[in-house]
Chains A and B, each alone.
Chain A
Protein backbone atom coordinates (compact mmCIF):
# COMPACT_ATOMS: atom_id res chain seq x y z
CA UNK A 1 0.00 0.00 0.00
CA UNK A 2 3.07 2.25 0.08
CA UNK A 3 2.40 5.48 -1.79
CA UNK A 4 -1.38 5.00 -1.83
CA UNK A 5 -3.25 8.03 -0.61
CA UNK A 6 -6.95 7.63 -0.07
CA UNK A 7 -9.49 10.46 -0.29
CA UNK A 8 -12.77 9.29 1.21
CA UNK A 9 -15.85 11.48 0.62
CA UNK A 10 -19.25 10.42 1.93
CA UNK A 11 -22.64 12.12 2.19
CA UNK A 12 -24.98 10.20 4.46
CA UNK A 13 -27.98 10.43 6.78
CA UNK A 14 -26.48 8.13 9.42
CA UNK A 15 -24.25 9.32 12.26
CA UNK A 16 -20.50 8.79 11.86
CA UNK A 17 -17.91 7.38 14.27
CA UNK A 18 -14.92 9.72 14.22
CA UNK A 19 -12.83 7.44 16.44
CA UNK A 20 -13.38 4.45 14.18
CA UNK A 21 -12.50 6.51 11.10
CA UNK A 22 -9.24 7.65 12.71
CA UNK A 23 -8.31 4.15 13.83
CA UNK A 24 -8.93 2.83 10.32
CA UNK A 25 -6.51 5.43 8.88
CA UNK A 26 -3.87 4.79 11.57
CA UNK A 27 -3.89 1.02 11.32
CA UNK A 28 -0.91 -0.25 9.40
CA UNK A 29 0.24 3.14 8.05
CA UNK A 30 3.60 3.95 9.64
CA UNK A 31 3.97 7.07 7.45
CA UNK A 32 1.45 8.91 9.59
CA UNK A 33 2.96 11.21 12.21
CA UNK A 34 0.00 13.56 12.61
CA UNK A 35 -3.77 13.37 12.45
CA UNK A 36 -5.89 16.54 12.45
CA UNK A 37 -9.66 16.33 12.63
CA UNK A 38 -12.65 18.65 12.76
CA UNK A 39 -16.21 17.86 13.80
CA UNK A 40 -19.02 20.36 13.19
CA UNK A 41 -21.95 20.08 15.60
CA UNK A 42 -25.54 21.41 15.59
CA UNK A 43 -25.98 24.17 18.18
CA UNK A 44 -29.25 24.94 19.97
CA UNK A 45 -28.97 28.67 19.28
CA UNK A 46 -28.57 30.63 16.03
CA UNK A 47 -29.07 34.35 15.41
CA UNK A 48 -30.48 34.63 18.93
CA UNK A 49 -33.23 32.04 18.46
CA UNK A 50 -33.53 28.58 19.98
CA UNK A 51 -33.11 25.88 17.34
CA UNK A 52 -35.13 22.71 17.98
CA UNK A 53 -34.11 20.80 14.87
CA UNK A 54 -32.53 21.21 11.47
CA UNK A 55 -32.86 19.69 8.01
CA UNK A 56 -29.91 19.55 5.64
CA UNK A 57 -30.58 19.52 1.91
CA UNK A 58 -27.91 18.91 -0.72
CA UNK A 59 -27.38 18.55 -4.46
CA UNK A 60 -26.68 14.84 -5.00
CA UNK A 61 -23.84 14.29 -7.43
CA UNK A 62 -22.49 17.84 -7.30
CA UNK A 63 -21.93 17.59 -3.55
CA UNK A 64 -19.59 14.62 -3.84
CA UNK A 65 -17.82 16.22 -6.82
CA UNK A 66 -17.36 19.55 -4.99
CA UNK A 67 -15.94 17.83 -1.90
CA UNK A 68 -13.55 15.72 -4.00
CA UNK A 69 -12.41 18.89 -5.82
CA UNK A 70 -11.72 20.66 -2.50
CA UNK A 71 -9.63 17.74 -1.24
CA UNK A 72 -7.74 17.65 -4.55
CA UNK A 73 -6.95 21.37 -4.16
CA UNK A 74 -5.65 20.72 -0.63
CA UNK A 75 -3.40 17.97 -2.00
CA UNK A 76 -1.80 20.42 -4.44
CA UNK A 77 -0.92 22.76 -1.53
CA UNK A 78 0.27 20.39 1.22
CA UNK A 79 2.00 17.04 1.47
CA UNK A 80 -0.77 15.06 3.14
CA UNK A 81 -1.61 11.37 3.25
CA UNK A 82 -5.18 10.17 3.71
CA UNK A 83 -8.27 12.34 3.99
CA UNK A 84 -11.83 11.65 5.11
CA UNK A 85 -14.76 14.02 4.60
CA UNK A 86 -18.17 12.87 5.85
CA UNK A 87 -21.17 15.23 5.74
CA UNK A 88 -24.59 14.32 7.04
CA UNK A 89 -27.89 15.29 5.41
CA UNK A 90 -31.53 14.98 6.45
CA UNK A 91 -32.94 15.62 9.93
CA UNK A 92 -30.52 16.64 12.69
CA UNK A 93 -30.92 17.91 16.24
CA UNK A 94 -28.77 20.00 18.59
CA UNK A 95 -25.68 18.06 19.76
CA UNK A 96 -25.72 15.94 16.56
CA UNK A 97 -22.48 15.94 14.60
CA UNK A 98 -22.92 17.29 11.04
CA UNK A 99 -19.52 17.10 9.40
CA UNK A 100 -16.24 15.28 9.90
CA UNK A 101 -12.89 16.12 8.29
CA UNK A 102 -9.76 14.08 8.99
CA UNK A 103 -6.34 14.71 7.44
CA UNK A 104 -3.24 12.63 8.08
CA UNK A 105 0.33 13.54 7.25
CA UNK A 106 3.90 12.96 8.38
CA UNK A 107 3.94 16.22 10.39
CA UNK A 108 1.31 18.36 12.06
CA UNK A 109 1.67 21.53 9.96
CA UNK A 110 0.18 20.18 6.72
CA UNK A 111 -2.50 18.23 8.60
CA UNK A 112 -3.74 21.29 10.54
CA UNK A 113 -3.62 23.58 7.51
CA UNK A 114 -5.31 21.18 5.10
CA UNK A 115 -8.06 20.35 7.61
CA UNK A 116 -8.90 24.04 8.04
CA UNK A 117 -8.64 24.70 4.29
CA UNK A 118 -11.06 21.86 3.52
CA UNK A 119 -13.59 23.19 6.05
CA UNK A 120 -13.32 26.79 4.81
CA UNK A 121 -13.96 25.71 1.22
CA UNK A 122 -16.67 23.24 2.22
CA UNK A 123 -18.58 26.07 3.95
CA UNK A 124 -18.62 28.20 0.79
CA UNK A 125 -18.39 25.80 -2.18
CA UNK A 126 -20.16 22.55 -1.31
CA UNK A 127 -23.90 22.59 -2.12
CA UNK A 128 -25.54 22.01 1.27
CA UNK A 129 -28.34 24.13 2.74
CA UNK A 130 -29.60 24.19 6.34
CA UNK A 131 -33.20 24.79 7.31
CA UNK A 132 -33.80 25.44 11.01
CA UNK A 133 -36.92 24.76 13.03
CA UNK A 134 -37.29 27.51 15.65
CA UNK A 135 -40.10 28.63 17.94
CA UNK A 136 -40.99 31.21 15.28
CA UNK A 137 -41.24 28.59 12.53
CA UNK A 138 -38.90 27.11 9.95
CA UNK A 139 -36.31 29.27 8.17
CA UNK A 140 -33.42 28.77 5.78
CA UNK A 141 -30.06 29.67 7.27
CA UNK A 142 -28.46 32.70 5.60
CA UNK A 143 -24.92 32.43 4.30
CA UNK A 144 -22.37 34.47 6.28
CA UNK A 145 -19.93 36.88 4.71
CA UNK A 146 -17.38 35.79 7.35
CA UNK A 147 -17.32 32.36 5.68
CA UNK A 148 -16.34 33.95 2.36
CA UNK A 149 -13.64 35.91 4.19
CA UNK A 150 -12.31 32.73 5.79
CA UNK A 151 -12.06 31.07 2.38
CA UNK A 152 -10.51 34.09 0.64
CA UNK A 153 -7.62 34.43 3.08
CA UNK A 154 -6.21 31.15 1.65
CA UNK A 155 -5.64 32.92 -1.66
CA UNK A 156 -3.12 35.16 0.12
CA UNK A 157 -1.30 32.34 1.93
CA UNK A 158 1.63 30.34 0.62
Chain B
Protein backbone atom coordinates (compact mmCIF):
# COMPACT_ATOMS: atom_id res chain seq x y z
CA UNK B 1 0.00 0.00 0.00
CA UNK B 2 1.32 3.44 -0.94
CA UNK B 3 0.40 6.56 1.01
CA UNK B 4 1.27 10.23 1.07
CA UNK B 5 2.46 11.43 4.50
CA UNK B 6 2.27 15.04 5.68
CA UNK B 7 3.71 16.58 8.84
CA UNK B 8 2.80 19.95 10.36
CA UNK B 9 4.01 22.52 12.90
CA UNK B 10 6.40 21.31 15.65
CA UNK B 11 6.42 17.77 14.21
CA UNK B 12 7.36 19.05 10.75
CA UNK B 13 10.22 21.09 12.23
CA UNK B 14 11.46 18.22 14.39
CA UNK B 15 11.49 15.82 11.43
CA UNK B 16 12.93 18.35 9.01
CA UNK B 17 10.48 17.31 6.28
CA UNK B 18 6.95 18.41 5.41
CA UNK B 19 5.92 15.38 3.36
CA UNK B 20 7.03 12.05 1.97
CA UNK B 21 5.65 9.11 0.01
CA UNK B 22 5.72 5.74 1.75
CA UNK B 23 5.24 2.15 0.70
CA UNK B 24 3.88 0.34 3.72
CA UNK B 25 4.62 -3.30 4.53
CA UNK B 26 1.75 -5.76 4.73
CA UNK B 27 0.10 -5.54 8.12
CA UNK B 28 0.38 -1.77 8.45
CA UNK B 29 -3.26 -1.00 7.78
CA UNK B 30 -4.25 1.48 10.51
CA UNK B 31 -3.09 4.88 11.74
CA UNK B 32 -1.80 3.34 14.97
CA UNK B 33 0.17 0.68 13.15
CA UNK B 34 1.61 3.34 10.84
CA UNK B 35 2.73 5.45 13.80
CA UNK B 36 4.40 2.41 15.38
CA UNK B 37 6.09 1.55 12.08
CA UNK B 38 7.40 5.12 11.69
CA UNK B 39 8.71 5.11 15.28
CA UNK B 40 10.81 1.99 14.72
CA UNK B 41 12.10 3.26 11.38
CA UNK B 42 14.86 5.10 13.26
CA UNK B 43 15.71 8.75 13.67
CA UNK B 44 14.29 11.29 13.37
CA UNK B 45 10.89 9.55 13.51
CA UNK B 46 11.54 7.48 16.63
CA UNK B 47 12.68 10.49 18.66
CA UNK B 48 10.02 12.83 17.33
CA UNK B 49 7.12 10.49 18.01
CA UNK B 50 8.50 9.59 21.46
CA UNK B 51 8.96 13.25 22.48
CA UNK B 52 5.57 14.53 21.44
CA UNK B 53 3.18 14.25 24.34
CA UNK B 54 0.25 13.84 21.98
CA UNK B 55 0.26 13.36 18.23
CA UNK B 56 -2.96 13.73 16.30
CA UNK B 57 -3.63 12.28 12.86
CA UNK B 58 -5.86 12.87 9.88
CA UNK B 59 -6.69 10.50 7.04
CA UNK B 60 -7.83 12.07 3.79
CA UNK B 61 -8.24 15.39 5.64
CA UNK B 62 -10.55 14.11 8.38
CA UNK B 63 -9.48 13.69 12.02
CA UNK B 64 -8.51 10.07 12.65
CA UNK B 65 -7.85 7.71 15.54
CA UNK B 66 -5.38 4.89 16.09
CA UNK B 67 -7.84 2.37 14.67
CA UNK B 68 -8.74 4.40 11.58
CA UNK B 69 -8.10 2.23 8.49
CA UNK B 70 -5.69 3.30 5.76
CA UNK B 71 -6.28 2.81 2.05
CA UNK B 72 -3.97 2.76 -0.93
CA UNK B 73 -3.39 6.32 -2.08
CA UNK B 74 -4.50 7.85 1.23
CA UNK B 75 -3.24 11.22 2.43
CA UNK B 76 -2.20 10.76 6.06
CA UNK B 77 -1.12 13.67 8.23
CA UNK B 78 0.48 13.75 11.69
CA UNK B 79 0.56 16.92 13.78
CA UNK B 80 0.47 18.26 17.35
CA UNK B 81 -2.86 19.18 18.98
CA UNK B 82 -4.24 22.21 17.18
CA UNK B 83 -3.93 25.75 18.56
CA UNK B 84 -5.89 28.06 16.26
CA UNK B 85 -8.56 30.61 17.04
**Residues in chain A within 8 A of chain B (CB atoms):** 40, 56-59, 61-62, 65-66, 87, 98-99, 119, 122-131, 140-143
Which residues of A sit under 8 angstroms from B8, Cβ to Cβ?
A: 57, 59, 127, 129
Choose among B63, B80, B84 the residue that contacts A87 (Cβ–Cβ < 8 A): B84
User: Is B82 in the interface zone, CB < 8 Å from A?
Assistant: yes
21 contacts between A and B (CB under 8 A): A56-B84, A58-B84, A59-B61, A62-B61, A65-B61, A66-B61, A66-B63, A87-B84, A119-B85, A123-B82, A123-B84, A126-B85, A127-B79, A129-B9, A129-B79, A129-B82, A131-B9, A140-B80, A141-B83, A142-B81, A143-B80
B58 to A130, Cβ gap below 8 A? no
In the bound complex, CA of A142 to CA of B53 (Å): 10
In the bound complex, CA of A30 to CA of B10 (Å): 47
In the complex, the 8 A-B pairs of residues with the closest C-beta atoms, listed nearest first: A128-B84, A143-B81, A129-B9, A62-B61, A123-B85, A140-B10, A141-B83, A130-B83
User: Is B48 in the interface zone, CB < 8 Å from A?
Assistant: no
A129 to B62, Cβ gap below 8 A? no
User: Is B6 in the interface zone, CB < 8 Å from A?
Assistant: yes
**Residues in chain B within 8 A of chain A (CB atoms):** 6, 8-10, 54, 58, 61-63, 77, 79-85
Which residues of B sit under 8 angstroms from A87, Cβ to Cβ?
A: 84-85
In the bound complex, CA of A140 to CA of B81 (Å): 11
Q: Shortest distance in angstroms between A38's beta carbon and chain B's nearest beta carbon? A: 9
> Contacts A59-B79, A61-B61, A62-B61; is A98 near B85 (CB within 8 Å)?
yes
Which residues of B sit under 8 angstroms from A98, Cβ to Cβ?
A: 84-85
In the bound complex, CA of A87 to CA of B6 (Å): 22
Which residues of B sit under 8 angstroms from A40, Cβ to Cβ?
A: 85
Q: Shortest distance in angstroms between A127's beta carbon and chain B's nearest beta carbon? A: 5
Q: Shortest distance in angstroms between A59's beta carbon and chain B's nearest beta carbon? A: 6
